[in-house]
Amino acid sequence: MEEQKKYQERIARKVLLRTGGITILFCLFVLVVVGVEVKHVAVRQTVTDNDIFQMLLILCAAICAGAVASLVALYYISRNAARESIQPLTQALEREKAFTSYASHELRTPLAVIKGSLEVLIRKPRTEEEYRRKITESIQVVDRMNEMVDNLLTLTRVESGKLQLIYADYSVSDLMTEACSNYADQLMQRRIKISVDVSPAALTMQTDRSAMLAILSNLISNAAKYCNESGNVNLRATREKNSVLLEVENSGPGIPKAEAEQVFDPFYRSIATGSQKVKGYGLGLAIVRRMTDLLGGKVSLTSSSEGPTIVQVRLPARRNVKKQ
- pLDDT, tens only, 221-276: 888 888 888 889 999 999 998 999 999 999 877 787 777 788 888 777 776 555 54
- Rounded Cα distance between 149 and 315, Å, is 27
- Rounded Cα distance between 77 and 11, Å, is 11
Domain ranges of the chain: 2-92, 101-160, 168-316
Which pLDDT value is given to residue 57?
Answer: 62
- Rounded Cα distance between 220 and 196, Å, is 11
CB 224 within 8 A of CB 262: no
Which pLDDT value is given to residue 112?
Answer: 81
**Is this model's pTM higher than 0.85 or not?**
no
Q: In what helix (H) or strand (E) does residue 8 lie, and over which residues does it extend?
A: helix 2-44
Q: Which residues pair with 239 in a beta bridge?
A: 244
Which pLDDT value is given to residue 173?
Answer: 94
CB 169 within 8 A of CB 205: yes
- Rounded Cα distance between 322 and 242, Å, is 8
Which pLDDT value is given to residue 79?
Answer: 63
Sign of CA dihedral 74, 77, 80, 82: negative
First to last CA, the chain: 22
Which pLDDT value is given to residue 108?
Answer: 73
Per-residue pLDDT of the chain (324 residues; tens, 9 = 90+): 445 555 555 655 555 555 555 556 656 665 565 555 555 555 555 556 565 556 566 666 666 666 666 666 566 656 666 666 666 666 666 666 666 665 666 667 777 878 888 888 888 888 888 888 888 888 888 877 777 777 777 777 777 777 788 999 999 999 999 998 888 877 888 889 999 999 998 999 999 998 999 999 999 988 888 888 888 999 999 999 899 999 999 987 778 777 778 888 877 777 655 554 566 667 888 889 999 999 999 999 988 777 788 999 999 998 764 444
What region, left, alpha or beta, does residue 256 occupy, with left being phi > 0 and alpha being psi -120 to 50 degrees?
beta
CATH number of 168-316: 3.30.565.10
- DSSP code, position 282: S
Buried-exposed string 273-283: b where 16+ CB fall within 10 A, e elsewhere: bebeeeebbbb
- The CATH label, of 1.10.287.130, 3.40.1260.10, 3.40.50.300, 1.20.120.80, for the domain at 101-160 is 1.10.287.130
Which pLDDT value is given to residue 293?
Answer: 92
Which pLDDT value is given to residue 225?
Answer: 84
- 3-state helix/strand/coil string of 181-222: HCCHHHHHHCCCEEEEEEECCCCEEEEEHHHHHHHHHHHHHH
Give the contacts of 282 (CB within 8 A, at least 6 positions apart): 265, 266, 267, 268, 269, 275
CB 26 within 8 A of CB 70: yes
Which pLDDT value is given to residue 271?
Answer: 65
